[in-house]
Amino acid sequence: MKLVQNGSLFIVLGMALFPGLSFAEGEAGGHQASNYPLGLYVLAGWGLLAAVLWLLYAVNRSRLKSLNGAKKKDDRLKRERLTVLARLYKWSGIFSLVGLIVSAVILSGTGEKQVVMTHIHGVGYSGDGRRILVPAHDGIKVYEQGVWSAGLGEKHDYMGFSMADDRFYSSGHPAPGSNKKNPFGLIKSTDEGKTIETLALSGEVDFHLMNVSYKTHTIYVYNPQPNSAMKAVGLYYSKDEAKTWKQAEMKGLSGEPAALAVHPTNDAVVAVGTKDGLYMSRDYGQTFEKTGTATQVTALYFGPQGELFVGSYGQGASLARMNVQTKQKFELTLPAMTQDAVAYVAQNPVDTKQLVIATFNKDVYLSNDGGTNWTKIADRGKGISQSK
pLDDT tens figures, 326-360:
999 999 999 999 999 999 999 999 999 999 999 99
Lowest-pLDDT range, 42-56, 74-88, 307-321?
74-88
Residue 9: half-sphere exposure toward Cβ, Cα within 13 Å: 6
Give the Cα separation of 257 and 250 in Å (integer).
11
Q: Over pLDDT 70: what percentage of the chain?
A: 79
Residues 218-240: pLDDT tens digits? 999 999 999 999 999 999 999 99
**pLDDT attached to residue 18:** 46
Task: Check whether 13 has a pLDDT greater than 70.
Answer: no
Task: Check whether 49 has a pLDDT greater than 50.
Answer: yes
Rounded average pLDDT over 104-114: 58
**pLDDT attached to residue 98:** 79
**pLDDT attached to residue 40:** 61
Give the Cα separation of 140 and 156 in Å (integer).
8
Q: What is the 3 state secondary structure string of 307-338? A: CEEEEEECCCEEEEEECCCCCCEEEECCCCCC
Can you give the residue ranges of every domain in the chain? 2-110, 124-383
Residues pairing with 18 in the sheet: none
Task: Check whether 50 has a pLDDT greater than 90.
Answer: no
**pLDDT attached to residue 125:** 98
Is pLDDT larger for residue 363 or for residue 10?
Answer: 363
**pLDDT attached to residue 69:** 62
Residues 258-313: pLDDT tens digits? 999 999 999 999 999 999 999 999 999 999 999 988 899 999 999 999 999 999 99
Instruction: Collapse the DSSP code of 152 into the 3-class scheme (helix H, G, I; strand E, B; otherwise coil) and give the result.
Output: coil
Lowest-pLDDT range, 17-21, 70-74, 304-308, 323-327?
17-21
Is pLDDT larger for residue 36 or for residue 197?
Answer: 197
Interhelix angle 2-28/73-110, rounded to 10 degrees, is 20
Candidates 2.120.10.60, 2.130.10.10, 1.10.10.10, 3.40.50.2300; correct CATH number of 124-383?
2.130.10.10
Task: Check whether 388 has a pLDDT greater than 60.
Answer: no
Lowest-pLDDT range, 33-37, 182-186, 227-231, 363-367?
33-37
Residues 145-179: pLDDT tens digits? 999 999 999 999 999 999 999 999 999 999 999 99
Task: Check whether 207 has a pLDDT greater than 90.
Answer: yes
Give the Cα separation of 108 and 36 in Å (integer).
10
User: Over the chain, what is the mean pLDDT?
Assistant: 86
> pTM above 0.85?
no
User: Closest by alpha carbon to 134, among 340, 339, 365, 374?
Assistant: 365
Distances (CA, A) of 131 to 10, 144, 210, 226, 263: 45, 5, 22, 36, 22
The rounded Cα 217 to chain-centroid distance in angstroms is 24
Is pLDDT larger for residue 277 or for residue 72?
Answer: 277
Task: Check whether 20 has a pLDDT greater than 50.
Answer: no
Report for 31-45, 99-113, 193-207: range of highest mean pLDDT:
193-207
Instruction: Collapse the DSSP code of 70 into the 3-class scheme (helix H, G, I; strand E, B; otherwise coil) and give the result.
Output: coil
**pLDDT attached to residue 88:** 75
- Which DSSP string corresponds to 195-242? S-EEEE-TTT-B-SSEEE-TTT--EEEEESS--SS--SSEEEEESSTT
- How many other β-carbons are positioned within 10 Å of the β-carbon of residue 81? 12
**pLDDT attached to residue 90:** 73
Determine whether 358 is exposed, middle or buried from the number of CB atoms within 10 Å of its CB (0-12, 13-18, 19+): buried
Task: Check whether 75 has a pLDDT greater than 70.
Answer: no
**pLDDT attached to residue 53:** 72
**pLDDT attached to residue 54:** 67
Q: Is 262 left (phi over 0), alpha (psi -120 to 50) or beta?
A: beta
Task: Check whether 118 has a pLDDT greater than 50.
Answer: yes
Task: Check whether 103 has a pLDDT greater than 80.
Answer: no
Rounded average pLDDT over 361-370: 98
